[in-house]
Structure 1
Amino acid sequence: MMGAKFSLSAMAMALILAGCSLAPKYEQPMAPVAPQFDHQDPATIEQDMSKLDALGWRDFFADPRLQALIELALLNNRDLRMAVDRIEEARAQYGIAQSDQFPTFGAGGAGQVTRSPSDLRAGGPEAPAISRFFQAGVGITAFELDFFGRVRNLSEAAYQQYLATEQAQRTVRINVVAQVAEAYFRWRSAQQMVDLMQSTLASRERTYRLVNRLFEVGTASALERHQAQVQLDTVRADIQAMQRAQMQAYNALTLLVGTQLPQDLPEPAVFGKEQIVVDIPVGLPSSLLVRRPDILAAEHQLKAAYANIGAARAAFFPNISITGLFGFASPSLSALFDSGRTYWQYSPQITMPLFSGGVKGGLDLAKARQNIAISNYEKAIQVAFKEVADALAGEATYTEQLNALRDMEHAAAESLRLANLRYETGIDSFLQVQTAEINLYAAQQRFVQTGMESLLNRVMLYKALGGGWQLDNTY
């Protein structure tokens, strides 16, 4: 009776110890950023917070051709495929670590036949020369009794690494969507620029023909004809450079999509600001903590560091493991499973660190990695805040900049019209026409370039806010 009580007490103590964990309690670090973004209207914050969860990338990018390209990229992009495979790799590693918390059982059998010389036989020279031993049963490998939570904390660390890998896959997905949109807008912008240059080339050719005619009748100088030729050749060279940029943008887009672009893509939307949703909800910086997958991944890495400290602390305490076998044994194979052939054995083992310099070094290493993980988490928040703030600064200024450039383009076009009239009537020299052509050409190029930059700024805002949340949270 006393032995039964002792066994129950020992079992209860083992269960209590098995519930122990030496890992420090996790506390989420304070976000080292301001509570609100600059260039943010406080009156719209509450409304933005309600819109965040409803906005997906299909709502964000309105161009039907771009939507089709993003869908293709999400199916074929190789970076995204590798990210999915890394999730499977992390899941398998977690499964291995988790299995160490449970004993491993196996069934097997063995046989041994030995012939011994007469002077080495256990029963003397008259004993049989050949001895036989057969065994079969179920065994348990060396299983660590996790009294101090070492194995459990290692399993928790592997689980958090797995969750971090899942968030890394979301990051790759968001990056793929943003990169496809950026490459697409660069491609469309290059097309717009080529169209602009083609129309400018036609205008320059008309101007050159006019100046050449005037030169032939003696009312224009050779200098003016050469100036017109320079203007014409400048645009011809620019067209070749822009066509090269257009082809390179197409190649970059093909790489991101992961397959050749189909011929039956939907018709694109008119190139302009309407290709991306105008009213982009932002919310508060605190919302980034649960929206940005890179921040979530950094937090899972931090939780893994906490668990690793628990495993390192457990290494200071005894390590207890047990190996056992239950089955049947017999000198005859035919009688192996007869009654009375029960065979069992168990072998507990305990090891205790005496000189713990290496163990202490392991704990110091785990603590240092925890501090690194905290700093990495805080930096991820700061980077996210900076990226959103930069994009909001762009949203606050690009509209007025484009309006000013549009007015400048209209003024430059009118200046060129008046300069041509004054030149044709002999009031001014061709220098005025040349200057007006240069100014208009530069204004038109700058308008297209700035328009593309404003679109890319919205793509950056999409990425900085954690993607199109409605669909980007699925795999």
Structure 2
Amino acid sequence: MHRFTLTLLAATLAGCSLAPDYQRPAAPVPVQYPQGPAYPAASTTPPAQHWQAVFHDPALRQLIDAALANNRDLRVALLNAEATRAQYRIQRAEQLPRVSLDGSGQRQYLPRRMTGTGSGAISSTQAVTLGVSAYELDLFGRLRSSSEQALQTYLASEEARRAAQLSLVASVASVYLTWRADQELLALAEDTLAADEHSLRLTTRQVRTGTLSALDRIQAQTRVDSTRAAVARYRRLVAQDLNQLGVLVAGPIADGLPGLALASEQIAPLPAGLPSDLLQRRPDILQAEHQLQAANANIGAARAALFPSISLTANAGTSSQQLAGLFEAGSGTWLFKPQVSLPLFNAGSLRASLDYVKLQKDIQVAQYEKAIQGAFQEVADGLAARATYQRQLQAQRDLVAASQRYYDLAQNRYRTGVDSSLTFLDAQRQLFSAQQGLIGDRLAQLVAEVNLYAALGGGWQDDQPLAGGPGG
């Protein structure tokens, strides 16, 4: 009865935990996104969407697939997640006793001076033991709290991996769209340069015939030189975009990769949902919450360190001087060795450790709230960009159309001698600038959609989970 009572008491104490109950902090953001002329109308909660359903350009999909398979930063994030999973498994194993089977043999010669018989002697001993070594009874939950901390750290690293995937998809999409825009700008600059060189040849002939002055030729030449500089700049940007894509994809990129021209239809629009949706969908917010839960578990481990710890060492086996008699009756041995450790004086280090982990939790609360605030701002900025870029693009298209009419009229008047070359060159410059602005605005609108996709958490459906789960 006494043994049963001790067993029941130990089982009851084993259920204790000194970790505080986890409470998710309130989200420090408004309950809805900003409203007003700069924002689109409110939308419903978006369904989870894979990136392949968001990006319609087949060339972009091909690049994203290659990046997810080969990118080195993503590979590091994956390996980090696997490493923290291994650490969790190690920590979880501390809660269970380590059972070992040991066998040993010893043969020793003693000289005659030590035997006292006048002659040397040889002694032999063989032993086999099965036992548990230094198993800690987790009476105050220290090991369970440490295991919970390791689990939450693993889950945080898994969310970091998902965040790396989402960031990689967004980076590949943004660089790819920039590459396409720079290609369009390069083609525009080359076409403009051809037109400027043609105008320079016409102006040169008119100068020779005395129709125009040398000043007109110099003005046409400056226009050609300016456009040549733009061509060189866009060639450099196209090459640099390819290099950056190559790093993201971890492989060479064909300069003539087929793809779609820049258009809004390249990216499927995503409804914004509600701010609370971000708590379940943004991997960086989920990572911050797991880190907060890990800090919460650390408090339990630090509190338990203030209390006594009990460890058990026990084994049973057999021992004999002769190998043949190792398992005969009367050769059994056993050992039971409990050990209690009670911290009496440690100069306040344990209490300071507890204060430290409490402060770490406060820091993680602030980091969690900061992640939510940052996510809210990114979504709000993306919604504002979506609404205003649509109006900006339409205004820029109207400007290009007006500049084209101005250019056509100025060119006709210049060739008929009604206007000077200065008006015609101004029309050329204005049309080129407006066309550049339209390509730049179209790129900015598409990149803003990519950023909004990432800000909303991507609707990521993970197709590459870690094999075996955390306890695999």
Residue pair 2:111, 2:119 contacting (<8 A) in 1 also: no
Residue pair 1:113, 1:131 contacting (<8 A) in 2 also: yes
Q: Partner of 2:24: helix, strand, or coil?
A: coil
Residue pair 1:173, 1:472 contacting (<8 A) in 2 also: no
Residue 355, structure 1, aligned to residue 355, structure 2: no
In structure 1, the partner of 2:427 is: 436
Residue 291, structure 1, aligned to residue 281, structure 2: yes
Residue 254, structure 1, aligned to residue 246, structure 2: yes
Q: Partner of 1:268: helix, strand, or coil?
A: coil
Residue pair 1:52, 1:469 contacting (<8 A) in 2 also: no
In structure 2, the partner of 1:308 is: 298
Residue 125 of structure 1: CA displacement? 5.0
Partners of 2:255 and 2:406 lie apart in 1 by 43
- Name structure 1 gaps, 5 residues minimum: none
Q: 1:361 to 1:440 in 2, by over 3 A?
A: same
Partners of 1:315 and 1:380 lie apart in 2 by 32
Residue 212 of structure 1: CA displacement? 1.1
Residue pair 2:40, 2:383 contacting (<8 A) in 1 also: no
Q: Percent identity?
A: 44
Residue 75 of structure 1: CA displacement? 1.0
1:138 alignment partner, one of 127, 130, 138: 130
With normalisation by structure 2, the TM-score equals 0.94
The farther-off stretch of 7-16 and 208-217 is 208-217
Residue 18, structure 1, aligned to residue 6, structure 2: no
In structure 2, the partner of 1:369 is: 360
Query: 1:71 is aligned with what amino acid?
Result: D
Partners of 1:36 and 1:355 lie apart in 2 by 54
Q: RMSD of the TM alignment (CA)? A: 2.0
Residue 406 of structure 1: CA displacement? 0.9
Query: 1:427 is aligned with what amino acid?
Result: V
Query: 1:216 is aligned with what amino acid?
Result: R
In structure 2, the partner of 1:202 is: 194
1:402 alignment partner, one of 393, 399, 406: 393
Residue 14 of structure 1: CA displacement? 0.4
1:393 alignment partner, one of 374, 379, 384: 384
Residue pair 2:262, 2:443 contacting (<8 A) in 1 also: no
Query: 1:148 is aligned with what amino acid?
Result: F
In structure 1, the partner of 2:320 is: 330
Residue pair 1:170, 1:473 contacting (<8 A) in 2 also: no
Partners of 1:362 and 1:207 lie apart in 2 by 79
- Name structure 2 gaps, 5 residues minimum: 467-472
Residue 145 of structure 1: CA displacement? 0.6
Residue pair 2:262, 2:442 contacting (<8 A) in 1 also: no
Query: 2:295 is aligned with what amino acid?
Result: A
Residue 469, structure 1, aligned to residue 465, structure 2: no
Residue 128 of structure 1: CA displacement? 8.0
Q: 1:413 to 1:43 in 2, by over 3 A?
A: closer
Partners of 2:16 and 2:119 lie apart in 1 by 56
Residue 194 of structure 1: CA displacement? 0.8
2:73 alignment partner, one of 71, 76, 79: 79
Residue pair 1:144, 1:322 contacting (<8 A) in 2 also: yes
Q: Partner of 1:111: helix, strand, or coil?
A: strand
Partners of 2:436 and 2:75 lie apart in 1 by 38
Partners of 1:152 and 1:402 lie apart in 2 by 58
Q: How does 1:58-457 map to 2 (within 5 A)?
A: 58-116=52-110, 129-261=121-253, 267-277=258-268, 279-356=269-346, 357-457=348-448
The number of aligned residues is 463
Residue 18 of structure 1: CA displacement? 0.7
Residue 131 of structure 1: CA displacement? 3.3
Residue 126 of structure 1: CA displacement? 8.4
Q: Partner of 1:214: helix, strand, or coil?
A: helix
Partners of 1:126 and 1:340 lie apart in 2 by 31
Partners of 1:444 and 1:83 lie apart in 2 by 42
Q: Partner of 2:173: helix, strand, or coil?
A: helix
Residue pair 1:23, 1:153 contacting (<8 A) in 2 also: yes
Residue 33 of structure 1: CA displacement? 0.4
Partners of 1:313 and 1:24 lie apart in 2 by 10
1:227-252 per-position Cα deviation (integer Å, ceiling 9, x unaligned): 00110111111101101100110111
Residue pair 2:385, 2:445 contacting (<8 A) in 1 also: yes
